[in-house]
Amino acid sequence: MRTLEILRLAGPRSYAEARRLQDDLAAGLSDPKLRRARLVLLEHSPVYALGRSTAGKHLFGEASELAQRTGAEVVEADRGGSVTYHGPGQLTAYLLLNLKAWDVTIHAHLWNLEEAALRALKRFGVAGYRVEHMTGVWCDATPGPAKVCAIGAGCSRWVTYHGLGLNVDLDLAPFGEIDPCGLGRKPVTSLAKLLGRAVKIREAAAALVPAFEEVLGAESAFLSAEAPARSGSKA
């Protein structure tokens, strides 16, 4: 049986708190015979996370300068990819699972993260797509393609951590302080900007949870009382 255990955290959380939580949750996923995944949904307090491939040119200077310039926290992240920004109004989803138990490669895991985001966007009538050699999810915007969801993952003892950051309804200006994901300053967008209306985090969570269920072929159970309402419900 495939199960997806979901923990929805209220209020912006620090990057360090979320990382400690992932470590705690990963401890129960060491059994390679147990097809159980854990999904953490949250918003971060303003933070720039520097992935393993972050270069100085992606920050337009030193990390300390970025922190002083923006007032946001700057942290080193033990995941693939370059620098990205997390903040209130972005739905961050951390997916933890044992690759051996689920019989998937890390590349297939990254594809699954993208696919979940694509299916969640589709529930809003938004057509997202992949761009070759650029991990993440993109949408047509003005004046051209813009990234709406960043993907970044790591793996320790076969258990994955980190995941995706879906721009729901947030101030996009902080992205202008960096070269997001080190892609040559490709534009970023948000679900709210694409729809031309305000979008609540709970709306995005209500679309993302069933998307992960479909992609993983799993039944979900909530580990907290903060369960997002299903798409189309009155909640």
Domain that holds residue 119: 3-222
- Over residues 176-195, mean pLDDT: 94
With CA atoms as reference, report the closest residue to 190 among 129, 146, 221. Answer: 146
- Over residues 122-130, mean pLDDT: 97
Burial annotation 59-79 (CB, 10 A radius, 16+ → b, else e) = beeebeebeeebebbbbebeb
Rounded alpha-carbon distances, angstroms, from residue 41 to 24, 176, 201, 216: 15, 25, 10, 16
- For the chain, the domain total comes to 1
Residue 232 pLDDT greater than 80, yes or no:
no
With a CB cutoff of 8 Å and minimum separation 6, the contacts of 66 are 48, 59, 60, 72, 74, 177, 178
Predicted pLDDT at 185: 87
Kindly state whether residue 54 falls inside one of the protein's structural domains. Answer: yes
Kindly state whether residue 234 falls inside one of the protein's structural domains. Answer: no
- Over residues 187-206, mean pLDDT: 97
How many C-beta atoms surround the C-beta of residue 9 within 10 A? 16
Residue 235 pLDDT greater than 50, yes or no:
no
Predicted pLDDT at 229: 46
Kindly state whether residue 129 falls inside one of the protein's structural domains. Answer: yes
Residue 139's identity, in one-letter code, is C
Output the average pLDDT for the chain.
93
- Over residues 132-140, mean pLDDT: 94
CA dihedral sign, ordered 79, 7, 97, 166: negative
- Over residues 188-194, mean pLDDT: 97
- Over residues 23-37, mean pLDDT: 93
Predicted pLDDT at 225: 45
Q: At what angle do helices 106-122 and 201-216 cross, to 10 degrees?
A: 130
Convert the pLDDT of each residue in 38-88 to its tens digit: 999 999 999 999 999 999 899 998 999 999 999 999 999 999 999 999 999
Kindly state whether residue 17 falls inside one of the protein's structural domains. Answer: yes
Residue 188 pLDDT greater than 70, yes or no:
yes
Predicted pLDDT at 224: 65
Residue 143 pLDDT level (bands cut at 50, 70, 90)? confident
Predicted TM-score (pTM) of the model is: 0.92
- Over residues 143-161, mean pLDDT: 94
Is 181 a catalytic site residue? yes
- Over residues 96-115, mean pLDDT: 97
CATH of the domain at 170: 3.30.930.10
Predicted pLDDT at 227: 44
> Can you tell me the distance from the alpha carbon of 206 to that of 45, in angstroms, rounded to the nearest whole number?
21
Predicted pLDDT at 234: 35
Catalytic residue among 139, 149, 155, 181: 181
